[in-house]
Structure 1
């Protein structure tokens, strides 16, 4: 989005522009200045080093036990970073069972929930925030005493950015990675999934042609709905590397790929399970749909869960529109 900031400069000539970044590489810093139409390069840089912040890596086969030990030893506000949304909830429940006030934060929460949880954490009402890397932009709580990574971050830059949220008041603080032997395997797999081999990407592109029944190079100007789950089932793929292969193809200009995984439908049951079973009076189609949802997804009574209307339609024999209409009744 910052690429469009330069347009404002043409509307407000003569207004000074200051660009701030915590972790950008030299190449990105140079690119930012070019894209923001700086008259000449002008960079003020400070070191990553912060004397009050101790960086540590601890080998821990029992990460949960080590997590409790650290939080009991280092008092004060804390952030725990994990890789998945599900793990934010699971870790929060573990902390609450130990009597530690905690809440979770990820990109799937609605804005009201995000704002409330952030305010509770910033005010001290909630001590620990368990989060994915979505908990980042605009987070500036000066008295965070410890940041713990239960999972390894994507890059050194990402780590410094997340760890740097500790000790902004200048007092002693800690940034700790809990590492186990399985983490290296997970990280290598994540790299392979994120950056698939060239032959794999070519194969996905070819299967995309088969999927839409069109010749190689055809389809200019055409738009099609894409079901990632169905595509992977048909061609025996795993979703994550396929999704990243399609993003690489989009970046290279071969396709346009709108990633609807960022905005899928979400569902939560606001009634108790017993009340839900009484809804059979709504009709056979509604009852079939509810049964399919309960068999396909978990956690629907406690939090929003992402659903796929296309898959539900296939399992129930309904159309996608019927699934949609029944769910918003």
Structure 2
């Protein structure tokens, strides 16, 4: 069975239209007249992306949110979505649709259509959603390939909560109920920030969302842009709930940076834009943190107390 990267490499020979961006980005970008249409698709599979016991409304929310996260990374405003539904038990499906409605309303992304299919009995459920958005009008759609030496590396929100939330969902994590609930919410109901992505688009060089883990996604920007990226482990923002449950040792930080499912923005920008970037985040009530730098060269370096730290064997989630 080919790996995700081997399959994508093979598909590049087919996806030759410029809108596909060589399959090296979070979304396709299609120019139509004077408008830019941004398109993305994500799939959730039972037992892979969510647990069989996860509430169906939360599964639907996550399906919408992960697609909105991709639009956010392109500075796109949600326009609408199409989705495919694997039919199952009536009660489960009703709860799923309630969550779908909640998420579409929250992110102002109306459902425009889709498809239904009945799976063989006992087969894991699978749901796919295609999101459409309108790209920025006054700047290029951000991509992964434009990080430049001397850029600062920034991240939105906090990192690692969803990884511990998954452990909580499996009843494999001890802690105060209030902290476990906060972590579980980050796993089941991610909250991408599309308004932040739209506002940052004119100020950044490269931007993507963190889905597979901070370290692996930073490495992807470095590889796509042909630059080196240095991440300061101590600068990576951790939530109070995560620190209360798991502490703040370097092992905890590495676990947070490789867990994935964060759906926060990771971007690089010239230092001259720092004040404007911070002002944008403050105006929207969003937290952002500078966590590293871009330099000439290649690869990813992780610093701990100012010194290079060996990278973990697994930088993030592997498909």
When normalised by structure 1's length, the TM-score is 0.25
Larger radius of gyration: 1
Relative contact order higher in (CA < 8 Å, ≥ 6 apart): 2
When normalised by structure 2's length, the TM-score is 0.25
Structure having the larger proportion of residues in strand = 2
Structure having the larger proportion of residues in helix = 1
